[in-house]
Structure 1
Amino acid sequence: MAANVNVALERVQSIGRDVVAALPNVLIALAVLLVFWGLARGARNLIQRVWGSREGNLGRLFGRLASGSILLLGVLVGVTIIFPSVTPASLFSLLGVGGVAIGFAFRDILQNLLAGILILITRPFRIGDQIVTGDSEGTVEDIQIRATILRTYDNLQVVIPNTQLFTGKVTVKTAYEVRRLQYDVGIGYGDDIGTAKQVIHGTLAGLKQIRQDPAPEVLVVDLAESSVNLRVRWWIDPPRRKDALDSQDEVLQRVKEALLAHGIDLPYPTRQILWHDQTEEADGDRVRQREGWPAGKGEAPPSRWQVVREREQEPS
């Protein structure tokens, strides 16, 4: 028992002597690490200052990458100072094997990192743009290394992986200075199309929230079941969602009031229903059934089946 205690004490004393002997190296390593920390901070500030005028978020990204690389190098130098037996070659070989393992383990993170860098370099959209991707729409608040932060119009935060944005479809609604809006307005079949167009053009000409260059347009786009549909198209500036909603609100209100004031109908959808007497003897017989012609309302027209049979019986 006493022998085991003596062995343990000797080991503790040996460790203590090693620590005391390595203490100068530890202090030197800390000093070196402090120097590298200062270099990392200076490099980050310098990169952010250089890139700040072009794209602040891109500068922050490269600044963080440069700062992290310099700090990692400082840690490696400090390890070689504290443990002289550790050579740079062994450290780099260890980093190579570890890098492969980390690459497999964090593949998705690395993909998002690369996609984030490419997004910041190619800049398909910027911070402040309003975009649509998948079922999400809103304003880009931040482009980070792993994901992009989107703020919806309902004040919700959506975190979208950069890979999804870089490889998927993204609609940038504020990419250009102007934007065109459109809405279909239905008028009655008895109304004059030229008069309706003239009324709509005159109404749009007096609105300040829409652009007059390019000029608004009114086009006939459909002869629908209950109405003749006119497509009203106009341009707005700037092209943000709030401006689009305010513009549409004013255009629809003024156009409706102007058309009604000039006696132009805005018809409701209508349906014509023919009730068939279900007590007739021919009900269910597709050859004799009168296809909805009301009983007692005059002579029923021939059914299409009767017409076909009569044509077949005609001599060739």
Structure 2
Amino acid sequence: MQETDLQSAVDAEISTAWATIDQMIDWSISFLPKLAIGVVVFVLFWLIGKGVRLAARRGTAGGSARNVGLVLGRLAQWGLTLLGLLVAVTIMFPSVRPVDLFSLLGISSVAIGFAFKDILQNFLAGILILLRQPFRLGDQIVFKEFEGTVEEIETRTTIIKTYDGRRAYVPNGEIFTNAVVVNTAYGIRRSQCDIGIGYGDDAHRAAAVIVETLRTVEGVLREPAPEAIAVALADSSVNIRARWWTDAHQHAVLRVQHEVIMAIKDRMSASGIDLPFPTSVVLFHDQTEETDGDRTRQREGWPSGPKPPAPRTIAGTLARQPGANGEDAG
């Protein structure tokens, strides 16, 4: 009796298993056409998205909006691909309604938003940067400790090639919320350097010589005109600031600055204008015009004239004082 009951239970389990397998086979056979149609629809949407992306890339190629076209094309492709996925799912699973998928997508997007807050922030900032275009590809910018040429503006990062040949990836969220200096925004850029002249020299003549020199340097623009203005009465010099305009790119700025400084140094020396270095003057209690030379003609740093006074040492001066070597001062 027990063997009969056991055999009946086994037969029932086998029958149930075969019935389940049969149902799965029937469902698979009926599902295959839907699967094929869904895959075809998804591939079709993906191909359309890819075509839109290529069209956007070609439509903006070579222009200032090239990166905008790339990003918008990429977004269009992603959107069409997602739409194709939703349509394919509803075709393959007719019981699933589109409204259910959108509801699930909304809940998922909130969860994804919290989980990937920084990534989404950089993504949205990148879209706004590309649309507003505060700077473009090829512009030279300064952002915090990074300075260089903008190579790419991606949806998440901006790629900067620094002047020393390194590549910096800067999150777009930081660029969008912080100050950025665009050196090449207007095409020209002003540079300056301070030149110190002696107090005994004619400051007006020195300023005129500096301006004349600036006009002879290749790369210095005629307009806006170069200028030289006095800015300080320093400890040992009158400081005159030379200011000039050049092309805004860094290599031009540095090259012209080198030529300007070298030309000013040579011209000032040839014109007899003193370029003093910081000096200290030590006066002895018996120092007179006779022993120290004609101070009305003496220049900072070194006496002028064809026969300057002979140099004096402190030891020699002390040795000539009354009472030196045991002599009687009276």
TM-score band, normalised by shorter chain: 0.7 to 0.9
1:182 paired to 2:167: no
1:248 paired to 2:280: no
Query: Which secondary structure state, in structure 1, belongs to the residue aligned with residue 195 of structure 2?
Result: strand
Q: Which moved more, 1:162-171 or 1:108-117?
A: 108-117
Q: Which moved more, 1:11-20 or 1:114-123?
A: 11-20
Match of 1:264 in 2: 273
Match of 1:119 among 108, 117, 129: 129
Match of 1:73 in 2: 83
Match of 1:89 in 2: 99
Label 1:54 to 1:194 Cα distance change in 2 as closer, same or farther (>3 A): closer
Letter in 2 for 1:129: D
Please give the alpha-carbon distance, in whole angstroms, between the structure 1 residues aligned to 2:106 and 2:47.
27
Q: Which moved more, 1:1-10 or 1:17-26?
A: 1-10
Match of 1:171 in 2: 181
- Superposition RMSD on alpha carbons, in Å? 2.6
Match of 2:52 among 24, 29, 43: 43
Task: Decide whether the 8 Å contact of 2:123 with 2:155 is kept in 1.
Answer: yes
Please give the alpha-carbon distance, in whole angstroms, between the structure 1 residues aligned to 2:182 and 2:14.
74
Q: Which moved more, 1:197-206 or 1:94-103?
A: 197-206
How far 1:181 sits from its partner (Å)?
Answer: 0.7
Please give the alpha-carbon distance, in whole angstroms, between the structure 2 residues aligned to 1:247 and 1:54.
28
Match of 2:33 in 1: 24
How far 1:92 sits from its partner (Å)?
Answer: 0.9
Please give the alpha-carbon distance, in whole angstroms, between the structure 2 residues aligned to 1:168 and 1:12.
63
Please give the alpha-carbon distance, in whole angstroms, between the structure 2 residues aligned to 1:5 and 1:267.
108
How far 1:68 sits from its partner (Å)?
Answer: 0.3
Please give the alpha-carbon distance, in whole angstroms, between the structure 2 residues aligned to 1:243 and 1:54.
23
Task: Decide whether the 8 Å contact of 2:46 with 2:81 is kept in 1.
Answer: yes
TM-score by length of 2: 0.78
Q: Count residues in correspondence.
A: 278
Letter in 2 for 1:234: W
How far 1:272 sits from its partner (Å)?
Answer: 5.5
Percent identity between the two aligned chains: 47
Q: Which moved more, 1:32-41 or 1:217-226?
A: 32-41
1:33-65 residue CA offsets vs partner (Å, 9 max, x unmatched): 121112112222233344444501000101110
Letter in 2 for 1:85: S
Query: Which secondary structure state, in structure 2, belongs to the residue aligned with residue 61 of structure 1?
Result: helix
Label 1:5 to 1:248 Cα distance change in 2 as closer, same or farther (>3 A): farther
1:234-245 → structure 2 map (5 Å cutoff): 234-236=244-246, 238-245=247-254
Query: Which secondary structure state, in structure 1, belongs to the residue aligned with residue 141 of structure 2?
Result: strand
Label 1:114 to 1:273 Cα distance change in 2 as closer, same or farther (>3 A): farther
1:1-316 → structure 2 map (5 Å cutoff): 3=10, 10-52=19-61, 53-236=63-246, 238-271=247-280
How far 1:267 sits from its partner (Å)?
Answer: 1.2
How far 1:273 sits from its partner (Å)?
Answer: 7.5
Please give the alpha-carbon distance, in whole angstroms, between the structure 1 residues aligned to 2:22 and 2:193.
87
Query: Which secondary structure state, in structure 2, belongs to the residue aligned with residue 154 of structure 1?
Result: coil
Letter in 1 for 2:55: L
Task: Decide whether the 8 Å contact of 2:218 with 2:256 is kept in 1.
Answer: no
Task: Decide whether the 8 Å contact of 2:201 with 2:273 is kept in 1.
Answer: yes
TM-score by length of 1: 0.81
Please give the alpha-carbon distance, in whole angstroms, between the structure 1 residues aligned to 2:234 and 2:132.
45
Please give the alpha-carbon distance, in whole angstroms, between the structure 2 residues aligned to 1:151 and 1:9.
67
Task: Decide whether the 8 Å contact of 2:64 with 2:137 is kept in 1.
Answer: no
Q: Which runs of 5+ in 1 are unaligned?
A: 275-316
Letter in 2 for 1:232: A
Q: Which runs of 5+ in 2 are unaligned?
A: 1-5, 284-330
Please give the alpha-carbon distance, in whole angstroms, between the structure 2 residues aligned to 1:228 and 1:10.
105
